[in-house]
Amino acid sequence: MKILHRVLAGLAPALALTIACKAGAMDMAVPGISVRMPIKSLQEVRFNTTARQQFDFSCGSAALATLLSHHYNYPISERAIFENMYRDGDQTIIRKQGFSLLDMQRFLARRGFKADGFEQPLEKLLDAGLPAIVLVSENGYNHFVVVKGMADGRILLGDPSRGTRSVSLSDFKQLWHNKLLFVIHDYKGLANFNSPSDWRAAPMARLAEGISRSGLESVTLFKHGAGEF
């Protein structure tokens, strides 16, 4: 066993590179022993508990799928939410601007969830143990993300375009312009907030670095109109 331990330890650097590059499984040749190890890429890990947006203007439906599926034990796909909100909403506006918080509120109400937007300090989420959907903005482009947790001056985000990641509190506050927290309240049960498994999936990165600079296909522009939050 000591020999096997030393062999596996020597393979650790190669394993680390493989995990970062490709998902699947690895067959390891050790004299007299066959070892098969399942491997997940970093990209897959980031989207374990964050729904990936499927369309340019669907970060709102993906954020809502993340909130319901991974924080309120209500499994539902991004596509199911998208189709429902698109069918019942103003399709012309949605194609141009994406979904609004009002679209999300109406969708939730039809399923028995009471949700509203509140102008409150971010720290209130930690006090209440509640996740929230928030709108972040950079260079004029807005994007919905889920605040999944807070700890040690870091904010854990479920980003529909980049997956689960963490940013510093100071960086986040610079890009969170409207100071609005969209939360489900009066819920009969405990919301999942600050989950250790979510934190394990979060790379250390600045929010500004999380938005791809190679193109804007995954970033949606939202405009708040009259009557919206």
Catalytic site residue 59?
yes
Q: Report yes or no: 148 and 183 within 8 Å, Cβ to Cβ.
A: no
CA distance 171 to 176: 9
Nearest to 159, CA basis, from 67, 86, 25, 36: 67
For residue 114, give both structure tokens: 């009471």
Q: What is the largest CA-CA distance in the chain?
A: 71
Q: What are the φ/ψ torsions at residue 132 (nearest 5 degrees)? A: -150, 155
E strand or H helix that includes residue 69: helix 59-71
| Collapsed DSSP state (helix, strand, coil) of residue 5 | helix
Instruction: Read off the tokens for 37.
Output: 């190890």
Structural element, H or E, at residue 148: strand 141-151
| Cβ atoms of 118 and 183 closer than 8 Å | yes
Name the residue with tokens 């809502």.
Answer: 64
H or E element, residue 137: strand 132-138
Catalytic one among 59, 81, 156, 191?
59
The residues carrying an active-site annotation are 59
